[in-house]
A = this chain, B = another copy of it.
């Protein structure tokens, strides 16, 4: 995370509400859930990402003198509240679903249990970070899926929505399955592979294309990918590249990793022609990589047409998730602790039943099929529930309750997704490295049926409520429709 202090990366209303609670001496412990309602880009799942940056944010959450002075200058806050802020630190608990995990709508990705003043303050930054990185990780998973095993490189920095969108977007893209990024700063910060060769300007700064290629091959003989479309791809670029490769071969330079990059024109046609030319010259192992406004749909279409491309540089559409540039995560009050220490479930009504929140102190269990290892369903339950996988388990849709399934005891196993991250304000979680999260994310996606990974109109995984949670929810709904 940027070394800039992010304490004031919050909406003003979090602070005006905090002062409200402060003045009312109401600082009871509450539970907020961060969750989302709809998978981005029509996908069948999302990939949780950003937790490591949330951890950094919470650890550094203090108001320094400059922050307090600024808030004072707004003429909204009293000195007693500003005093409180200067001594502020986060004292609560946070649970979260680890980065790289496959997740579904309505599941709490992050659960904050803290005095209401603290839980309210952290809303905006948690949403900002989780929404962004989960969005890009999910979009990347789609692009990687479309590439059917070819490598995807993240090339979007220049079109990202500001420096952080480039830095953490590339981090999320690595989690989602890229083999590398062009972003050097992301490479430095997160120890992930960085990739890149040269631009058109390299070619144009030499008297001719051949000389530019030749010079490049002398400099980087072990990673010699030549950009062939500056003047004319098939008439000039590919022939010049072949000439240089031949000279390398004749000079006894081992051709380990070499080839061409296409950046314009019809990539299907160009790649097939280039492949023929390279093969005919005896360069069957020359790589053909491509970049140029790619996304999961164009890659699918190009592969369908037999494009001879095995390495893809994806920029704008992935780093901005261009067809769906926001993740839509929300942060909702789920429970308030009473004077006896018990959590009283809270619910937010809406005319749209999809928008009615799930009340109470909850967790998420994932039910896997023993035989296939695939996900059978997820179960949102109360945090103190447990499920014995030796016993039959009846699960049912929480809206269309007649949709029921029984999981036979002994045929499934259960995993709790939420893990403790902060306890009484102390971080008790160590984030894995990005490359380890990437590997985990790959395995996570293997727990999905291929029908759920399909890019268009995928099969939706069942996310049901436990019987106990369902009864609490319907009870609260009945109560509210009778009351007031």
Contacts and interface: CB of A to CB of B under 8 A. Distances in A.
A327 interface: yes
A16 interface: yes
A177 B129 CA distance: 26
Interface in A91-138: 116, 120, 123-125, 127-129, 131-133, 135-136
Interface in A21-36: 21, 23-24, 26, 28, 30, 32
A327 B159 contact: yes
Interface in A205-244: 205, 208, 215-216, 219-220, 223, 230-232, 236
* Complex copy number for this chain: 2
Contacts of A24: 215
Sort chain A's interface into a size bin. Answer: 35 or more
Given A132-B161, A161-B162, A184-B11, A204 B346 contact: yes
A202 interface: yes
A232, A326, A349 pick with most chain B CB within 10 angstroms = A326
A184 B15 contact: yes
Contact of A333 (B32, B166, B205, B208): B205
A205 B328 contact: no
B166 A128 contact: yes
Contact of A17 (B125, B182, B198): B198
Nearest to A15: B184
Interface string A175-187: 0000000111101
Interface of A: 1-4, 6, 8-17, 19-21, 23-24, 26, 28, 30, 32, 66-67, 70-71, 74, 76, 116, 120, 123-125, 127-129, 131-133, 135-136, 155, 157-169, 182-185, 187-188, 194-202, 204-205, 208, 215-216, 219-220, 223, 230-232, 236, 264-265, 316, 320-322, 325-329, 331-333, 336, 346, 348-351, 480, 484
